[in-house]
Every structure is written in C-alpha cells, then in structure tokens.
C-alpha cells in the first residue's frame, strides 16, 4: 500500500458536494489539492490548507489519488480526457464519484485501462451534510485490490463504504435503481400534495400521515424483494385488482380538479396489463416481471 496514496488526494470539481469532500479530506489531515473549472470556488478550502492547482493537469499530478465529483460523465470526460491530463494520470488512480449510467462507467474504465490509469467508480447515497460524519453512505465498484489500496483515504469521508465487486458498472447500477426509488417517491409526494390541496388539505396537515406511509415501506421492500427473486408474487393481502381500483380513484379525483394524473395513469396501466395477462390474484410487484420482459 502506497503511503503517497494515503497521505495526499486531489479533488476535481468544487460544487457543494466536491467542497464537502475536500473539507473531509482536510479534516483528516490529508494533503489536499483542489481544482475547479470555474476559478474562485476553492478560496475557503485554500484558507483551510488546501492547495489550489492552476490546471487539471497540475492537480492530478499532485497526488496518487484523484477524486472526481462533477455533474455528469460529460463533464468528467471533458476534465480527464484531454491528452495532457491523461498523461499526468498514468500510474495513478481516479475514483469517480460522479453520478451517471453504468455504461458510462464501463466506458471510462476502458479508457483508463488503455492509458495505464487505475479506475474506481462510486456513488454518494446521502446528502452533503453527511459527508465527513458517520451518516454518510458511499458505494464503490472496480478492482478489489485497487479499492483496498485507497480505502484509508476514502475512509476520511466518513460513513460507511461498501465495495460492490470488481464489475465497474455495479455502483452506478445501484445508484440508478436507488435514485429511481427516490425520485419516483418524490414525484408521488408532490402529486399527493397537489391533490390534497385541491381538497382543502394543507401540506403541513398531510405530512404526519405521509410519514406513516413512508414507515410501512421498508418491510414491504424486504418482502417484495424476496418475491421478485423467487418468482412467487403473493397477492393474498392486496391483489393487484384491488391496487388498480385504488389507482383509478386517484386518477379520477386528480382529473376532477384539473390535476395531471399522467404518472398514476401509467402505473394503473401497468397494473391492468398484469391483470390482462391473467395475474389478477398476484400482488402489485408482479409488475417488475412484466417490465423486465423484452
């Protein structure tokens, strides 16, 4: 294990999350070099002891480990793939914590391998205030030995770190699936608030009951995960025919108030397709199998 890798790190991208990452590295007494495409964002970090590089090439040359956190892989490619930066990265390691798709992670790993660059992909699954605290959650994928080599530096970010395996796209696959849950849930909540308001119910009045709905989901996630993996979809407690009826009520009430019900119409449509395939006594999660058909 290289002490050089453990004691120094470069952070590329100084948006709110990138600054939080750099802060955590500084708190852990790592020599931290920072760079951002828009100048000036690193002033506070420099005041705390970070070194501001004049270019991305200079930044990556300063450390054995470079952590990238920008808006997407178009942005990270624009930073990492110019010839001068690529050459400076040879023999060093990039941990890309930028959110994007599994295919983009695989493409970046192939690029890195062609140029003799160690490459790990990852995702940050918790908000900015958790960085550097025990509440942070990070997932990683890529070569196990490379992950273990740089784990001491990554530990400086706090929280839990889970290595999901050597397949480089694995972290992005988890990230996409988990964000799918989050944003679909947020879309549902926003729609629910609009319907409730149309019926004279304030968001503040609904919120405690919405929290109750959220609390029943974890055991449902566990149960339905077993059903999906086993291929047995129990509808004993709530068959999909009953679920489709509830969805129709939501659509009717929404549209009676002139509120777009496109999302719920789509979900109801999926449920009714399952029923049409002869699975009306199964639970709603049977939709997963239908969606996965090619």
DSSP 128: G
State pLDDT tens for residues 3-28: 334 589 999 999 999 999 999 999 99
**Tokens, residue 5:** 């890798």
Same domain, 221 and 155: no
Q: Please give the pLDDT value at position 7.
A: 87
Q: Is residue 184 part of a domain?
A: no
> What global pTM score does this model have?
0.93
- The last residue of one of the domains, among 166, 193, 211, is 166
- pLDDT value of position 1: 34
What is the pLDDT of the chain when averaged over all its residues?
96
How far apart (Å, rounded) are the C-alpha atoms in residues 110 and 120?
A: 11
Whichever domain contains 269, its CATH number is: 1.10.1040.10
Q: Find the CATH number of the domain harbouring 39.
A: 3.40.50.720
Q: Inform me whether the pLDDT recorded for 294 exceeds 90.
A: no
Radius of gyration (C-alpha) of the chain in whole angstroms: 23
Reported as a single tens digit per residue, the pLDDT across 56-95 is 999 999 999 999 999 999 999 999 999 999 999 999 999 9
d(CA 119, CA 168) in angstroms, rounded, equals 9
Q: Residue 40 half-sphere exposure, CB side, CA atoms within 13 Å?
A: 1
Range of the domain at 133: 3-166
Residues 213 and 162 reside in one and the same domain: no
Mean pLDDT of 239-259: 98
């Amino acid at each position: 294990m290289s002490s050089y890798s453990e004691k120094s790190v470069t952070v590329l991208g100084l948006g709110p999350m990138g600054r939080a990452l750099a802060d955590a590295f500084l708190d852990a007494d790592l020599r931290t070099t920072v760079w951002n495409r828009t100048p000036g964002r690193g002033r506070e970090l420099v005041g705390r002891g970070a070194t501001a590089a004049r270019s991305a090439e200079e930044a990556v040359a300063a450390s054995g480990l470079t952590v990238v956190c920008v808006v997407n892989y178009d942005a990270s490619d624009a930073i990492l793939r110019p010839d001068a930066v690529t050459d400076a990265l040879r023999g060093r390691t990039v941990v890309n914590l930028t959110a994007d798709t599994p295919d983009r992670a695989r493409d970046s790993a192939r690029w890195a391998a062609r140029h003799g660059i160690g490459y790990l992909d990852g995702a940050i699954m918790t908000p900015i205030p958790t960085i550097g605290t025990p509440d942070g959650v990070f997932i990683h994928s890529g070569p196990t030995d490379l992950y273990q080599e740089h784990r001491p530096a990554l530990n400086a970010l706090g929280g839990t770190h889970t290595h999901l395996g050597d397949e480089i796209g694995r972290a992005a696959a988890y990230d996409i699936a988990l964000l799918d849950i989050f944003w679909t849930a947020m879309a549902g909540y926003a729609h629910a608030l609009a319907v409730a308001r149309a019926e004279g119910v304030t968001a503040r009045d609904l919120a405690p009951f919405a929290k109750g709905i959220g609390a029943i989901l974890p055991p449902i996630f566990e149960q339905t995960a077993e059903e999906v993996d086993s291929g047995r979809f129990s509808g004993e407690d709530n068959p999909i025919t009953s679920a489709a009826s509830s969805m129709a009520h939501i659509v009717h009430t929404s549209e009676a108030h002139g509120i777009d019900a496109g999302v719920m119409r789509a979900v109801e449509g999926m449920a009714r397709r399952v029923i049409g395939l002869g699975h009306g006594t199964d639970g709603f999660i049977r939709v997963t199998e239908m969606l996965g058909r090619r």
